[in-house]
Amino acid sequence: MPTGVCRGCGAEIVWVKTAAGKSMPCDPRLVPYWERPGAAGKVVLQRSGKVVSCDFEGPRDELTGFGYISHFSTCPQARGFRKKR
């Protein structure tokens, strides 16, 4: 998986290919998630590129899996990357 550095904040990122075929910058650490449709949390799955709504806490025996968090949701400079309409 390609890696890089965020142009906004200088943090390390990984590029995950989404199901739509686009590359999404993500934080490099895999996080545990509990899938729940409509939840506010989102992770990107490495193999399928699917974006999943989830919770980041839950019963250990009901863990869905591990995914990446989009760097757009954690970058302090994310507003500077928004497309102007």
**Mean pLDDT in residue range 41-56:** 96
Residues 64 and 74: their CA atoms lie apart, in Å, by: 22
| 40-73 burial code (b ≥16 CB/10 A, e <16) | ebbbbbbeebebbebeeeeeeeeebeebbbbbbe
Q: 9-38, pLDDT tens digit by residue? A: 999 999 999 999 999 999 999 999 999 999
pLDDT at 83 over 70: no
pTM: 0.87
Asked whether residue 85 is domain-assigned, the answer is no
Tally of domains in the chain: 1
41: domain range? 3-80
Question: What pLDDT sits at residue 41?
Answer: 96
Q: How confident is the model at residue 78 (pLDDT cuts 50, 70, 90)?
A: confident
56: in domain: yes
